[in-house]
Amino acid sequence: QQQVKQSPQSLIVQKGGISIINCAYENTAFDYFPWYQQFPGKGPALLIAIRPDVSEKKEGRFTISFNKSAKQFSLHIMDSQPGDSATYFCAASGRMGQFYFGTGTSLTVIP
Amino acid sequence: GAVVSQHPSRVICKSGTSVKIECRSLDFQATTMFWYRQFPKQSLMLMATSNEGSKATYEQGVEKDKFLINHASLTLSTLTVTSAHPEDSSFYICSASWRGTHRETQYFGPGTRLLVL
């Protein structure tokens, strides 16, 4: 059972544009929501993360928006660059610390 | 940031043999390590959670006798794929965290590509 649903599966954005990836979860026990970036053949690297007590968190060009009542959260990449081309995973973590990942979004930024 | 290494990075083995993958936290003591499996262009699927000195907790559907996990020290966890078959071919990734201020933060290793012939 997929505990975290992610969309879109793939995304193509022009350089300088905004990339938006959405995730939804069901388990209200989740209390930590990170986003990871993964390049081919590499392990995931933490980008940014948020807890449910805030609705938005921004770090540089990356912003997480969190809607607790809708059980949804999204990643916004501002001024997208070709170097941002990678696969992005959202995740949700419960009390025991296990991460449940979304299905991933393959982002391509066209120069 | 914290560094997690895996060894080997790539392994090819014959069907029926066992393969051991090591996961090490290089600059911190990992109280908890996680093992994931990732098929091409798919998500990471949590296989098991291991705490140092105790038995691993396996996710539903993961055969504990097939995927043996040992977390003997605070810096090392091993995953042994026993009697490997071609369907076990996958990308195996470990992550590590510690009981600190940012308990939820997991640092991922670079992954191990397993190919079973």
- Residue B52 vs residue A52, higher pLDDT: A52
Which residues of A are less than 8 Å from B46 in CB distance? 98-101
Which residues of B are less than 8 Å from A50 in CB distance? none
Contact check, Cβ <8 Å, A99/B107: no
Q: State the average pLDDT over residues B63-84.
A: 93
> With 70 as the cut, is the pLDDT of residue A1 above it?
no
Q: Which of B44, B94, B105 is the best mutation test for A, with the most CBs of A within 10 A?
A: B44
Give the model's confidence band at B71: pLDDT under 50 very low, under 70 low, under 90 confident, else very high.
Answer: confident
Model confidence over B23-60: pLDDT tens digits?
999 988 888 899 999 988 888 999 999 888 788 999 99
8-state DSSP, B59: P
Please tell me the predicted confidence (pLDDT) of residue B1.
Answer: 66
Model confidence over B86-115: pLDDT tens digits?
999 999 999 998 765 455 678 899 999 999
Please tell me the predicted confidence (pLDDT) of residue A41.
Answer: 87
CA–CA separation, A3 vs A49, rounded Å?
A: 18
Model confidence over A84-107: pLDDT tens digits?
999 999 999 877 778 889 999 999
Tell me the pLDDT of chain A averaged across its residues: 93
Which residues of A are less than 8 Å from B41 in CB distance? 104, 106
8-state DSSP, B86: G
Report the residue from A32, A43, A100 with minimal CB separation from B46: A100
Please tell me the predicted confidence (pLDDT) of residue B12.
Answer: 97
Token pair for A11? 């995304």
Give the model's confidence band at A50: pLDDT under 50 very low, under 70 low, under 90 confident, else very high.
Answer: very high
Model confidence over B6-16: pLDDT tens digits?
999 999 999 99
Please tell me the predicted confidence (pLDDT) of residue B100.
Answer: 59
Look at residue B87 and give its three-state secondary structure.
helix
Model confidence over A53-86: pLDDT tens digits?
999 999 999 999 999 999 999 999 999 999 999 9
Give the full edge-to-edge strand order of the sheet including B19-25. Answer: B4-7, B19-25, B76-81, B67-73
Please tell me the predicted confidence (pLDDT) of residue B97.
Answer: 85
What does each C-alpha distance from B43 to A38, A59, B1, B114 come to in angstroms? 11, 24, 24, 17
CA–CA separation, A67 vs A89, rounded Å?
A: 18
CA–CA separation, A63 vs A11, rounded Å?
A: 17
Q: Which of B7, B52, B106 is the best mutation test for A, with the most CBs of A within 10 A?
A: B106
- Residue A7 vs residue B31, higher pLDDT: A7
